[in-house]
Amino acid sequence: MYFVIIINGDTMKRVLITGASQGLGLALAKKYASMGYSLILISRNKEELEKLKKEVLKEYRIDIDIIPYDLTKEIVNFSKEILNSYSNIEVLINNAGMGIADSILYHDPIDEEKLIDLNIKALTILSMEFAKYFKEKGYGRIINISSVGSMMPGAYISSYYASKAYVSSFTYSINLELKQYNVYAIAFNLPRMDTDFDLHAKRKSKLKKGKNPMVIADKIYKKMNSKKGIMNIGLSTKLMNLFSHLLPKSLISKCIGSKLR
C-alpha cells in the first residue's frame, strides 16, 4: 500500500542525495524511498543511478530524478540550477565524499584537488544555497555526512580527516545560525562502513569489516529531526569522541597511522 500524497502533480516531500550510486548514498536512497520521499539522486555514474532507479521503482511509487554530475565541476551554477528546478525539496544530504589513504608524499595533486572540491567546496556551496532556499520555505534539513575521522588528526589519511573536521565544524556553526528559521543542519559522524570507500581511497592496509550501510542509513533517518548540530553514530564513534578529549592528539594520530601504514 502506498501513502504518497500528490500536490499539483508533485509528491509532497523530496530529498536530494549526493553520491547515491553506491555505498551509503545508495542505502540512504532506499531508506528515504521506503519512507515515501521522492528522490533526486546525484553522482557521476549514470548507469548505476539508472539501475538504482529501476530497482527502487519496483517497490515504491515515488518520483525519482537521476542527475549524473561531477560535483567537483561548476558547483555554484549547478546548485542554482537545481534549486530553480524544484520547489519542494525538504532534505539535502551531502553524502558524496572521497578519501586518500597514503603518505602526503605520495598524494597525486589532482586527486587532492578533487578531494577538497568534493568534500569541502561542493558541500559548502550546496549547504549555503539550500540554507537560503529552506529559510524562504520555513523548513528544511541539511544533513552533512562526516566521519569519526573529524575528531582527530590522522597520519596517512591527513587531508580526508582534515576535510571531515571542516564538515563537522562548519555544519555545527550553520546549525546555530539557521535554527531560528526552523532549518537545521546536522553533521553525522559515522563509524567505518562496509562500502568500497577504502578501495576508492586506495587504502592498502586491511582494517576490520565496517558497519552495514543500510543500518547506518536507518539511524540517520531516525535522527534527522534532531536539533543538534553534530550526531555521533555507533559506540565506536562515541568512544572515540571521548578519547579525543582525554588523550593527546599525537598519541591518537600515531595509533591511526600505525593501522594505515
Ligand X SMILES: NC(=O)c1ccc[n+]([C@@H]2O[C@H](COP(=O)([O-])OP(=O)(O)OC[C@H]3O[C@@H](n4cnc5c(N)ncnc54)[C@H](OP(=O)(O)O)[C@@H]3O)[C@@H](O)[C@H]2O)c1
Question: Residues in the site for ligand X, rule: CB under 6 A?
Answer: 18-25, 43-45, 48, 70-72, 95-98, 118, 145, 147, 190, 192-193, 195-197, 200, 210
Alpha-carbon span 200 to 179, nearest angstrom: 36
Angle (CA) 79-71-139 rounded to 5° is: 40
Buried b (16+ CB within 10 A) or exposed e, 163-178: bbbbbbebbbebbeeb
Of 66 and 183, which has the nearer Cβ to ligand X? Answer: 66
- Residue closer to ligand X, measured from CB, 135 or 210: 210
Catalytic residues: 160
What whole-number distance in Å separates Cα of residue 136 and Cα of residue 87? 11
Nearest approach, Cβ of 255 to ligand X (angstroms)? 17
Q: Is 36 exposed, middle or buried (0-12, 13-18, 19+ CB in 10 A)?
A: middle
SS3 of 18-75: ECCCCHHHHHHHHHHHHCCCEEEEEECCHHHHHHHHHHHHHHCCCCEEEEECCCCCCH
Closer residue to ligand X, CB minimum distance, 33 or 193: 193
The distance of closest approach from Cβ of residue 35 to ligand X in the complex, given in angstroms and rounded to an integer, is 20
Mutual angle of helices 123-137 and 158-178, in 10-degree steps: 10
Nearer to ligand X, 67 or 128 (CB): 67
Name the minimum Å distance from CB 151 to ligand X.
11
CB of 24 vs ligand X, minimal distance in Å: 4
Smallest gap from Cβ 2 to ligand X, in A, equals 27
- Cα–chain center distance at 161: 14
Nearer to ligand X, 38 or 147 (CB): 147
